[in-house]
Structure 1
Amino acid sequence: MQKDYFSQEVNRRGTLSVKWNPKTIQGIAATGEAEPFWVADMDFLAPPEVIETAVATARSGVYGYPHVDTKEQLFCSWAKKRHNWIVDPKRVVTCSGMLTSIALLTEMLTKKGDGVMVPVPAYQPFLRIVRNLERTLVAWPLLYDEESHRFSLDWDKFAELCKQAKLLIFCSPHNPSGLVFSEEDLTKLTRIAKEHGVVIISDEIHADLSFKAHHSLLPIAQAQGCTAVTCMAPSKTFNIAGEHYSVAIFADRKLQTQFERRLEQLFLTENSFFSTTIALSAYEKGEPWLEELLVYLQQNISLMETFFRKNLPSLSFIKPGASFIAFIDCSKIIALVEQDALANPQLYDSKNSPNGGLLSRFFGLRAEVALNDGTWFGGEQYRSFVRFNFGTQSQHIEQALIRMQKAIQFLEETYSR
């Protein structure tokens, strides 16, 4: 692979990309002119071998129903090679998108009114799943140390909330905090869940992008006698999120049979021709690309750490242990942003950006940087955070940070007198 593969420009404007769609950006950043650093897909070309597969598939000219006898085994080979996890192919169910699987499992494992626990801040669709299915959301707030700017699991709160829940939707590695959980963490989690009869759905979509060893929850849950399902996908790993392809891995055969039956009832048992060929090509040939990607992402993290320390001391970059998204603590500037909003109510009018919040509007308007507002991850208690997607070329990150620095200087010069 060429040395500058990840630094080369990729023009996504004018494509079908939701990340780069001006109307969507307007909805969170109050201006469609803001450069997108929000939704979790990357601006890098997929692995060359995957692109070659996609081109060859397109050129075949016939896009019928796919059938691959070895797709479960191919995933198992990946799990063994990447995570030293031995998976029985018979326990693997191929699905479309991760959220479809999680929603179906939530529907199967609970009934209306049942408590479903979700650690917060949370990937927002988890919260929507609970509400859409008319379950009771049991929010499990992560602990946040305002000195070290680190999140952690609140074990006492977890044991207490288990009494109110039948199901836990867990995200490992965690989005948006960037936490990567140790084997000890997962052992404790599954032991407590078992004691209270709580079933766990573990979303491990960012597992392949961990910067240190990833431990899948399912085998640990098995050892503890805790019922769990692990969901994984190549989508974030290889930047093919638009091709909905995922897997659900079971230890409980009865639950697996029920899940497969539900997929059949809803005619959700088939993946598309393109998603299948692209996903399998990624698992089979994409690892060298992934290794280089992980190096590039960690270089981007170092760039951001250095820039924040030298030029943005009023913001706190929460260093992630995985993937390409990071939370930023903006609590030191929130009062100044509130003053800016009071002085310019027409700019900050929520009607113009219904999917945003105070901080996403500020950075959109004043820095032309589109970020996910912290409120998207669990409400007003996270209003002092934003999430930054650094899965893009480092030169764009640096330029965005410079604009953010200037925006904060504007705040301080205008409202700190």
Structure 2
Amino acid sequence: MTAFNSASNYGENAFIKSKPQMLQNIYNTTDVFPYWVADMDFQVAEPITKELNRLVERGVYSYEFHEQAVFEALSQWYSKRHGLTLSADKFVQVPGVLSGIALLLRQFTNEGDGVLIHTPAYHQFANLVNKADRQVVKSPLINDENGYQIDFAGMEQQIIEQKVKTMIFCNPHNPTGRVWTQQEIEQVVEIAKRHDVLIISDEVHSDIIFEGHSFTSLTSFDYDKIIALIGSPAKTFGMHSISNGYVYTNNDELFEAFKTNVVAMYLDHGNAFSTFATVAAFEKGEAWLDGMLVYLQDTVKWITQFAEQRIPQLKVFQPQGTYQVWFDFSELGFSEEELKNVVFEQAKMGLTPGGWFGAENPNFMRMNIATSRDNIEKSFTALADAIDGFERGSKGNSNCCDNGTSKSCC
């Protein structure tokens, strides 16, 4: 586990999460530890580094396109890892997941169309819809004693009333960490079938699944209006700045139409570094991933136990997948400004404000835990101390935060 517990070098201010200007805009200070971006601090698997080094040492970069090798690696990976049968001939490579969704929205929806998302939702979904001049239709998840659930009746009502023809579905769900069950997804698909709704399924966290849960891809369902963003070397292997996105559908008509559009804009090529690194990751990186999953689950256990002992009022939603943890600070009784002061200024924890995800309650925040345990322990100790100190009468004021609409990642 020492490979995952090494400290990160945040002197690399080129990393988005560490850029002083970004931190200042979000937190009104640069003196925070950046837990707000959904990427990793871990060094990537050795086979990835070896392949990148091979290309660097080669020193020759003539044109070469090997996306089919990536598709074969993805197909074999999902067969072995998840029991899915995905044809290597049904993938379309795009520059990234967000650009893939942006292209899909523009090709298969019209201006003014309603696009349904389940809130709280990854904030870029709403940004993508709005920037395409489509209308965001929110279907709030139910938050009860069992965690987050889909409000199927409410969702169907929204589809009918708002004449929704497209849905962006996220599994595993960001930011709540829910891994939707096969039964839950079946209900979503049945509702979509009844109302002829196209489902764009964001499945980029599909390999970050914790013990006791299993991933169910929408590509395994018998419905011809499903397009999935699947196979993410970024989320699975920490290749966030050197990876592409991969779109998959079983529908031949949708596949050909989308591929034709992407190829016409010359967006399907990628580059040698991302291509060969991705193949190395999916062919030789499984042991690294298994080790990281154990490390992440141990981190969740540590956070949960620490919160129970030092911050019992803090609600920790147990993630079933992803390396994001969703918190509810409501029972601490802080005002919105008091909470920002305690978390951002005193504890110096750069958590993502819940408002970014459409959370109605400002007391929700998201934390990326794909970092060293040392960082986690220091931050939570500082948080507990800050809460104790505040409750003794030490108060402050904060004027942050940016609402996240300008971010192109995270």
Decide whether aligned partners of structure 1 residues 71 and 138 sit closer, same or farther in structure 2, where only a CA change above 3 A counts.
same
Q: Percent identity?
A: 30
| Structure 1 residue 37 corresponds to structure 2 residue 35 | yes
Question: 1:139-190 deviations in whole A, cap 9, x for unaligned?
Answer: 0100112x45x11111111111121211000110000000001111111110
Decide whether aligned partners of structure 1 residues 242 and 383 sit closer, same or farther in structure 2, where only a CA change above 3 A counts.
same
**TM-score in terms of structure 2 length:** 0.91
Decide whether aligned partners of structure 1 residues 328 and 62 sit closer, same or farther in structure 2, where only a CA change above 3 A counts.
same
Decide whether aligned partners of structure 1 residues 35 and 415 sit closer, same or farther in structure 2, where only a CA change above 3 A counts.
closer
Aligned position for 2:330: 331
Aligned position for 2:153: 156
Q: CA deviation at 1:226?
A: 4.5
Report the 3-state secondary structure (helix = DSSP H, G, I; strand = E; otherwise coil) of the residue aligned with 1:161.
helix
Distance 1:167 1:231 in 2: 15
8 A Cα contact 1:360 1:370, kept in partner: no
Aligned position for 1:213: 214
Aligned position for 1:239: 238
Q: CA deviation at 1:196?
A: 0.7
Distance 1:246 1:360 in 2: 35
Decide whether aligned partners of structure 1 residues 134 and 55 sit closer, same or farther in structure 2, where only a CA change above 3 A counts.
same
Segments ≥4 residues shifted beyond 6 Å: none
Distance 1:328 1:186 in 2: 25
Decide whether aligned partners of structure 1 residues 240 and 361 sit closer, same or farther in structure 2, where only a CA change above 3 A counts.
farther
Aligned position for 2:358: 378
Aligned position for 1:104: 103
Pick from 396, 401, 410 the counterpart of residue 380 of structure 2.
401
| Structure 1 residue 411 corresponds to structure 2 residue 390 | yes
Q: CA deviation at 1:337?
A: 4.8
The one-letter amino acid paired with 1:404 is L
Distance 1:360 1:259 in 2: 44
Q: CA deviation at 1:15?
A: 4.5
Aligned position for 1:263: 262
Aligned position for 1:349: none
Q: CA deviation at 1:209?
A: 0.6
Aligned position for 2:191: 192
Question: 1:98-149 deviations in whole A, cap 9, x for unaligned?
Answer: 111111111111101111001111111100011001111100100112x45x
Q: How does 1:80-119 map to 2 (within 5 A)?
A: 80-119=79-118
Aligned position for 1:288: 287
Aligned position for 1:346: none
Give structure 2 stretches of 5+ with no counterpart: 396-410
**TM-score in terms of structure 1 length:** 0.90
Aligned position for 2:18: 20
8 A Cα contact 2:35 2:369, kept in partner: yes
Report the 3-state secondary structure (helix = DSSP H, G, I; strand = E; otherwise coil) of the residue aligned with 1:46.
coil
Aligned position for 2:348: 368
Aligned position for 1:133: 132
Aligned position for 2:175: 176
Give structure 1 stretches of 5+ with no counterpart: 341-358
Distance 1:241 1:141 in 2: 29
Q: CA deviation at 1:70?
A: 2.4
Q: CA deviation at 1:255?
A: 0.8
Q: CA deviation at 1:410?
A: 2.6
Distance 2:287 2:243 in 1: 22
Deviates more, 1:204-213 or 1:59-68: 59-68
| Structure 1 residue 48 corresponds to structure 2 residue 27 | no
Question: 1:258-317 deviations in whole A, cap 9, x for unaligned?
Answer: 111221232212102211121111111110100000000000000000011010112111
Report the 3-state secondary structure (helix = DSSP H, G, I; strand = E; otherwise coil) of the residue aligned with 1:207.
coil
Distance 1:387 1:33 in 2: 18
Aligned position for 2:314: 315
Distance 2:44 2:13 in 1: 16
The one-letter amino acid paired with 1:390 is I
Distance 2:130 2:206 in 1: 26
8 A Cα contact 2:23 2:30, kept in partner: yes
Report the 3-state secondary structure (helix = DSSP H, G, I; strand = E; otherwise coil) of the residue aligned with 2:377.
helix
Q: CA deviation at 1:364?
A: 1.6
Aligned position for 2:63: 65
Aligned position for 2:404: none
Report the 3-state secondary structure (helix = DSSP H, G, I; strand = E; otherwise coil) of the residue aligned with 1:208.
coil
Q: CA deviation at 1:320?
A: 0.4
Distance 1:226 1:360 in 2: 46
Question: 1:333-356 deviations in whole A, cap 9, x for unaligned?
Answer: 353454x4xxxxxxxxxxxxxxxx
8 A Cα contact 2:65 2:271, kept in partner: no
Report the 3-state secondary structure (helix = DSSP H, G, I; strand = E; otherwise coil) of the residue aligned with 2:17.
coil
Question: 1:14-51 deviations in whole A, cap 9, x for unaligned?
Answer: 35211122221222222101111110011100001111
Report the 3-state secondary structure (helix = DSSP H, G, I; strand = E; otherwise coil) of the residue aligned with 2:21.
helix
The one-letter amino acid paired with 1:51 is T
Report the 3-state secondary structure (helix = DSSP H, G, I; strand = E; otherwise coil) of the residue aligned with 2:174.
coil
8 A Cα contact 2:176 2:319, kept in partner: yes
* RMSD of Structure 2 on Structure 1 (CA): 1.6
Distance 2:282 2:128 in 1: 29
Distance 1:48 1:288 in 2: 11
Decide whether aligned partners of structure 1 residues 158 and 61 sit closer, same or farther in structure 2, where only a CA change above 3 A counts.
same
Distance 1:41 1:373 in 2: 17
The one-letter amino acid paired with 2:365 is V
Q: CA deviation at 1:362?
A: 4.3
8 A Cα contact 2:219 2:226, kept in partner: yes
Distance 1:370 1:360 in 2: 10
8 A Cα contact 1:116 1:166, kept in partner: yes
Deviates more, 1:197-206 or 1:243-252: 243-252
